[in-house]
Chain A
């Protein structure tokens, strides 16, 4: 990979993040603009970040280093900056954020035959059993009325790490919130983080700490979620 240092440039001067001497300058102007946009977004959030690039026939891989912590909100911000982004993933072992870009618009969608590999399918019964035994071993940390909620969160974490290294999950009840910290995750994609947030509004403050190699988030307790929720259903009088 060719590494390219991200320098801080003032926005009003028409200077580019990517210099004419870098390997990226060999790309099409459209691709370069996309890379510049993403690099600037990273620069806004993480000033010290540097990135490296790898150009492949169908895609461009960008890796951003020197990032201490990434929040889901900032990743979403980067994701919506351009439609060319195929995948955003965080490598907690190498401590980098990888952005995969599509190169150029294909004229015709290639025909893909979806195959279902039985070995990749997750046995839901086994999944449930594992979560039950985990909760049984760590019964102190979860209240009985919140078990359903915590089961959903644990199932999501287990699906993230299925077939890879088992994570260390720590869950502490602090006030009205369950404070989750997960260690041992090797890589995590933005789509996986989104799947956790899709569970509901009770999953909040999702952060990935690259220095400590940890994913951290809060889960609001069921009762507090019902009382404090901003999106309460109200009867509208017509």
Chain B
């Protein structure tokens, strides 16, 4: 059946969805003890209003700051544009709606060039390399 959504499913978004789900599953497995022994992560789907993923954590009976901060840690990846978190007290679940960004990937490809350009165009760099290569010959600078 065709999906009615703003976002489109691409190979990179699919990979990101799998990564996010795997990360959430690992964190939830780490916190599954005591009252939260039966915690599970479920992929609900993709959001209507953008490219991303909706994940829900079920059977949460004790919620603490360390768990929430670990989730926040996962969601601080630069590929994520934004996220919404809603705690449902009726169902004992937390729902995370994560939106993926698109511009970050393009930015990343130019990142190294932009940072290295001023150093590569500096003549002192080449003089230094020559000096290291043959100090006796190129010592005349000093």
* Cβ-defined contact, B4 with A169, below 8 A: yes
* Cβ-defined contact, B5 with A130, below 8 A: yes
In the complex, chain B residues whose CB is within 8 Å of the CB of A157? 4
Give the size of the chain A interface in residues (CB under 8 angstroms).
25
Give the size of the chain B interface in residues (CB under 8 angstroms).
17
* Cβ-defined contact, B4 with A134, below 8 A: yes
* Cβ-defined contact, B1 with A166, below 8 A: no
In the complex, chain B residues whose CB is within 8 Å of the CB of A163? 47-49, 84, 97
In the complex, chain B residues whose CB is within 8 Å of the CB of A130? 4-6
Give the tally of cross-chain contacts (CB within 8 A).
61
Docked Cα-Cα span, A23 to B7, in Å, equals 47
Docked Cα-Cα span, A158 to B49, in Å, equals 9
Q: What secondary structure prevails in chain B residues at the interface with A?
A: loop
Q: Does B38 contact A (CB under 8 A)?
A: no
* Cβ-defined contact, B2 with A138, below 8 A: yes
- Chain A CB within 10 Å — which of B46, B48, B49 has the most? B48
Docked Cα-Cα span, A170 to B1, in Å, equals 6
Q: Does A9 contact B (CB under 8 A)?
A: no
Q: Does A183 contact B (CB under 8 A)?
A: yes
* Interface membership of chain B positions 48-84, coded 1 if the CB is closer than 8 angstroms to chain A and 0 otherwise: 1100001000000000000000000000000000001
From B53, which residue of chain A is reached at the shortest CB distance?
Answer: A165
* Cβ-defined contact, B1 with A169, below 8 A: yes
Docked Cα-Cα span, A164 to B48, in Å, equals 6
* Interface membership of chain B positions 14-48, coded 1 if the CB is closer than 8 angstroms to chain A and 0 otherwise: 00000000000000000000000000000011111
- With A94-B91, A166-B48: A158-B2 Cβ-Cβ less than 8 Å: no
In chain A, residues 142-190, which have Cβ atoms closer than 8 Å to a Cβ of chain B? 154, 157-158, 161-170, 181, 183-184, 186
Determine how close the nearest CB of chain B comes to the CB of A35; give it in whole angstroms. Answer: 19
In the complex, chain B residues whose CB is within 8 Å of the CB of A169? 1-4
In the complex, chain A residues whose CB is within 8 Å of the CB of B54? 164-165
Determine how close the nearest CB of chain A comes to the CB of B90; give it in whole angstroms. Answer: 8
In the complex, chain A residues whose CB is within 8 Å of the CB of B6? 126, 129-130
In the complex, chain A residues whose CB is within 8 Å of the CB of B2? 134, 137-138, 168-170
From A63, which residue of chain B is reached at the shortest CB distance?
Answer: B90
Partner of B45, one of A129, A162, A165, A170: A165
* Cβ-defined contact, A154 with B45, below 8 A: no
* Cβ-defined contact, B3 with A161, below 8 A: no
Docked Cα-Cα span, A162 to B7, in Å, equals 12
In the complex, chain A residues whose CB is within 8 Å of the CB of B46? 165-166
Docked Cα-Cα span, A165 to B7, in Å, equals 12
Docked Cα-Cα span, A170 to B47, in Å, equals 18
* Cβ-defined contact, A186 with B44, below 8 A: yes
Docked Cα-Cα span, A181 to B45, in Å, equals 18
From B43, which residue of chain A is reached at the shortest CB distance?
Answer: A165
* Cβ-defined contact, A167 with B4, below 8 A: yes
* Cβ-defined contact, A158 with B4, below 8 A: yes
* Cβ-defined contact, A158 with B44, below 8 A: no
Determine how close the nearest CB of chain A comes to the CB of B98; give it in whole angstroms. Answer: 13
In the complex, chain B residues whose CB is within 8 Å of the CB of A137? 2
Which 8 residue pairs across A and B have the least CB separation, nearest first?
A: A168-B1, A166-B5, A165-B45, A170-B1, A166-B48, A169-B4, A161-B48, A166-B3
**Chain B contact residues, CB within 8 Å of chain A:** 1-7, 44-49, 54, 84, 91, 97
Known: A162-B49, A168-B4. 18 other contacts (CB 8 A): A126-B6, A126-B49, A129-B6, A130-B4, A134-B2, A134-B4, A154-B4, A163-B84, A164-B48, A165-B44, A165-B45, A165-B54, A166-B4, A167-B3, A169-B1, A169-B3, A169-B4, A186-B44
